[in-house]
Structure 1
Amino acid sequence: MLHLRVVCPADRADAAVGLLRAHPGVTHLVMFPGAALDPEGDVIEADLAREAADDVLSGLCDLGVDHDGGVTLEQIDTVLSDAGDRAERRAPGEAADAVVWEELVARTGEESRLNTTFLAFLTIACLLAAVGVITDSPVTIVGAMVVGPEFGPLAALAVGLVRRRRDLVRRAGLALGVGFPLAIAVTAAGAWLGTLAGMFDASAITGDGHEADFVYQVGPWSLVVAVLAGAAGMLSMTSAKSAALVGVFISVTTVPAAGYIGVAAILGEWGKVFGSAAQLAVNLLGIVLAAALVLVLRHGVRAPGDSGRPLSDG
């Protein structure tokens, strides 16, 4: 279940309480008149089944509570209550299949921010991938996949396209458009310093029998894996089963391809540069399209609950 907390202007508190009372998936309703100081108003709290969240949030947003007050949701790990059990039974649908659109928009919006942390993780991941390529170490390449933070912006692109949220698409596009070129440039600089120090030469990636060659060998299976990973990733995010995201991270070769571009460019292996770039593009496109398709097939473009408010840059 989810715990709902609403700071509501006093003139709309009765309507908000009525909305919550009327929904079969809501229970443990509590009201504190005049308890809110900034912004001023009443505080309303309730517990609700996850599958009821979109209807409730949509109704509260229709009342303008999100503009003149505030709405917060948090996950409840344990509920010992017959009333809570009844609310979950009465709520339509299954909790595992329910999407809280406001939560999804907020989460993907946060994870797609272009900030120092995102750039640092992506750059470190690409450097790890470069080390894996140079040393022909699949284990290091897998580690780079796990470290890479790129799925957040890719999921945000999918959500933004489906919900027609230009602000979300713009934020995610900026993160990817700046993040990958910067990470590749830093990786190339590191590879250049490595060649100057005599740590490796072109033989590290030329010749046959390298286990890391799969990174630049793009083909139909690259798209298949990207599509499956994108679908699994979005299913994980919408069903709150985040453990599956680790499998998504180590399924696709976005970060390894970016790292390979930096190394191959310094060594003058332009065929492998173009192959890695194609691999990167196929993976990015496949993940976004599959994730968007999952949202459309499972929940539809016009699902309730998204207030359409622009994302904060703060």
Structure 2
Amino acid sequence: MRYLEITVPEGKRRAVLDVLEDEGIDYVVSDETSGRGYAAVVRFPLPTRAVEPVLDRLRRAGIGDEASVVVINAETVISEEFATLRNQYSRGGKKGSRTSRQVLRTKADELTPPFPIYAVMLLISAVVATAGLLSDSPAVVIGAMVIAPLLGPALAANVGIVTGDDRLKRTGFVYQIIGVTAVVVASIALAALARVAGLEPAGVDIVVATELEERVAPNLFSLAVALGAGIAGILSLTRGFSEAIVGVMIAAALIPPSAAVGITVAWGMYGAAIGAAALVIVNLLSINLAALGTLWVAGYRPQGLFEVSPTRRPTYVYATVFGVALLALAAPLAGVTLIDFQTTELESATEEEAHGVLADPAYDHLELEDVAVELDGNYPIQAVDRVLVTVSSREPGPEPGLADRLYEEIRPHGDGSLVVEVQYVVSEERGEGTADDAESQQAAVRSAGGS
């Protein structure tokens, strides 16, 4: 429920009261004697869903920007007229607390902080996210998401589109672009300092060693996070859900990938940087497309019947641009997804075939320890580099013919360039019982087969 107070300009008193009486609204009116060009002050309660249509009717009756309108929350209203009005606006199952267009603009604007604060908070978030990724700490990365003020700009841009508010739209898009760019630049600087300081793990791929791997080779499932964030963001704005929680979700789609771009650029891994940058752009497009679609489906339009058509066209244009760009970028993500599926299938088939080969009585002294499919590291779209089969034996040395036999069984599940490598580890017999110690002599002997 809402409680409205309208300061009515001179000459508009009768028009306002006619609208309120026609709507069956229980109002209180008092004369305005300040001598500032106002005739009266009208106060009345409204169901939340009635705020937007009533204000639109008042505007069509000639109550423009010169009037002062205040909308506040009301805890309860005890009135027969109000109960009738609430039933009227709940007709057809339309119950709920949908925020009016006027309030929606205000809330979106309030969620967008002043630029200096926005910039400082994003820089802090970038530093924390970069440190969290380099130290492989999920908790620190989550902390970076919590402090990133990205919810407001994402919502403001799309609220501005569907309501015809050019200032709000421009602010939202500028904040988003500058924000992501600032995170990338700050991450490059911090990661470069970390590398100069000698924090790079010697001989270890930085992508594999940290939380970066899932962000430099994104797949189609990454879209779900961003699309869900955009929809949830608008619902939080229009239905009164917790904006803070949804803000973390939007930050999760943008801050870690942006920091990943900076880290991979600083490490000179430009293929990985392209993958992370693609994820950032895809997530930005997904959030905005989902938010725009949710607002339009929810019925948000500019005030006045004659303003719907001009605003419908730019809304369709923005939706088309977002959608086409998203489809274009989804193609490489589909390639990564396909590789993921193929890798999983190959690993499963390899394990099955290895168990079948080792079931031969000739290999009773061998036991399958592990199966791994390793990729070539050519980000963002990788290929299978080799299949590594680890077996354990009580005696060191390769088993003659085992690698070739495994290769022949596994080859039909891969392509012609598949490489199969067999790694042997030595197990020891201790005390009265037998215990396998696979770590006692790691990689004692290796044999490889392939073509």
- The question of a shared fold, defined as TM-score above 0.5 by the shorter chain, is answered with yes
Query: Residues 295 and 155 of structure 1: is their aligned pair in 2 closer, same or farther, counting only changes over 3 Å?
Result: same
Matches within 5 A, 1:18-29: 18-24=18-24, 26-27=25-26, 29=27
Equivalent residue letter for 2:254: T
Runs of 4+ in 1 over 6 A off after TM superposition: 305-308
Query: Residues 31 and 125 of structure 1: is their aligned pair in 2 closer, same or farther, counting only changes over 3 Å?
Result: same
Matches within 5 A, 1:131-142: 131-142=131-142
Is residue 32–residue 43 contact of structure 1 (8 Å, CA) maintained in 2? yes
C-alpha distance in 2, partners of 1:272/1:202? Answer: 17
Could you say which residue in structure 1 is the equivalent of 2:57? 59
Could you say which residue in structure 2 is the equivalent of 1:226? 226
C-alpha distance in 2, partners of 1:109/1:18? Answer: 32
Question: Does residue 258 of structure 1 match 2:258?
Answer: yes
Query: Residues 56 and 205 of structure 1: is their aligned pair in 2 closer, same or farther, counting only changes over 3 Å?
Result: farther
Matches within 5 A, 1:18-167: 18-24=18-24, 26-27=25-26, 29-36=27-34, 38=36, 40-76=38-74, 78-83=75-80, 84-92=82-90, 94-96=94-96, 98-112=98-112, 115-167=115-167
Query: Residues 113 and 174 of structure 1: is their aligned pair in 2 closer, same or farther, counting only changes over 3 Å?
Result: farther
C-alpha distance in 1, partners of 2:145/2:306? Answer: 32
Larger relative contact order, structure 1 or 2 (CA cutoff 8 Å, min sep 6): 1
C-alpha distance in 1, partners of 2:167/2:38? Answer: 30
- Give the drift of 1:195: 3.4
Equivalent residue letter for 1:31: V
Equivalent residue letter for 2:28: V
Could you say which residue in structure 1 is the equivalent of 2:173? 173
Query: Residues 38 and 126 of structure 1: is their aligned pair in 2 closer, same or farther, counting only changes over 3 Å?
Result: farther
Aligned residue for 1:208, secondary structure, equals helix
Query: Residues 186 and 19 of structure 1: is their aligned pair in 2 closer, same or farther, counting only changes over 3 Å?
Result: same
C-alpha distance in 2, partners of 1:179/1:291? Answer: 18
Query: What's the RMSD between the two structures over aligned residues?
Result: 2.8
C-alpha distance in 2, partners of 1:306/1:267? Answer: 55
Aligned residue for 1:87, secondary structure, equals helix
**More displaced 10-residue stretch of structure 1: 258-267 or 49-58:** 258-267
- Give the drift of 1:41: 3.6
Equivalent residue letter for 1:258: S
C-alpha distance in 2, partners of 1:270/1:120? Answer: 28
Question: Does residue 8 of structure 1 match 2:14?
Answer: no
Is residue 6–residue 70 contact of structure 1 (8 Å, CA) maintained in 2? yes
C-alpha distance in 1, partners of 2:141/2:205? Answer: 14
- Give the drift of 1:169: 2.3
- Give the drift of 1:64: 4.3
1:128-187 CA-to-partner distances (Å, cap 9, x unmatched) read: 211110111112222222222222212222223333443332221211222221232233
List alignment gaps of at least 5 residues for structure 2: 309-451
Query: Residues 275 and 69 of structure 1: is their aligned pair in 2 closer, same or farther, counting only changes over 3 Å?
Result: same
Equivalent residue letter for 2:237: M
Aligned residue for 2:4, secondary structure, equals strand
Matches within 5 A, 1:259-278: 259-278=259-278
Question: Does residue 188 of structure 1 match 2:221?
Answer: no
Is residue 2–residue 74 contact of structure 1 (8 Å, CA) maintained in 2? yes
- Give the drift of 1:206: 1.6
Query: Residues 202 and 282 of structure 1: is their aligned pair in 2 closer, same or farther, counting only changes over 3 Å?
Result: farther
- Give the drift of 1:65: 3.2
C-alpha distance in 2, partners of 1:95/1:306? Answer: 27
Query: Residues 171 and 207 of structure 1: is their aligned pair in 2 closer, same or farther, counting only changes over 3 Å?
Result: closer
C-alpha distance in 1, partners of 2:306/2:258? Answer: 34
C-alpha distance in 2, partners of 1:279/1:305? Answer: 40
The number of residues matched between the two structures is: 303
Equivalent residue letter for 1:67: D
Is residue 122–residue 182 contact of structure 2 (8 Å, CA) maintained in 1? no
Q: Which has the higher helix share?
A: 1
Equivalent residue letter for 1:201: E
Aligned residue for 1:223, secondary structure, equals helix
C-alpha distance in 2, partners of 1:55/1:301? Answer: 11
C-alpha distance in 2, partners of 1:54/1:150? Answer: 27
- Give the drift of 1:282: 0.7
Is residue 101–residue 305 contact of structure 1 (8 Å, CA) maintained in 2? no
Could you say which residue in structure 2 is the equivalent of 1:290? 290
- Give the drift of 1:46: 1.2
**More displaced 10-residue stretch of structure 1: 252-261 or 161-170:** 161-170
C-alpha distance in 1, partners of 2:59/2:183? Answer: 40
Is residue 109–residue 156 contact of structure 1 (8 Å, CA) maintained in 2? yes
Equivalent residue letter for 1:87: L
C-alpha distance in 1, partners of 2:207/2:121? Answer: 31
Is residue 125–residue 147 contact of structure 1 (8 Å, CA) maintained in 2? yes
Aligned residue for 2:145, secondary structure, equals helix
Is residue 109–residue 171 contact of structure 1 (8 Å, CA) maintained in 2? no
C-alpha distance in 2, partners of 1:209/1:222? Answer: 21
**More displaced 10-residue stretch of structure 1: 165-174 or 276-285:** 165-174
Query: Residues 196 and 211 of structure 1: is their aligned pair in 2 closer, same or farther, counting only changes over 3 Å?
Result: closer
Is residue 35–residue 43 contact of structure 1 (8 Å, CA) maintained in 2? no
Is residue 230–residue 291 contact of structure 1 (8 Å, CA) maintained in 2? yes
1:23-59 CA-to-partner distances (Å, cap 9, x unmatched) read: 24x43x2212114555644211111100101111112
Could you say which residue in structure 2 is the equivalent of 1:208? 208
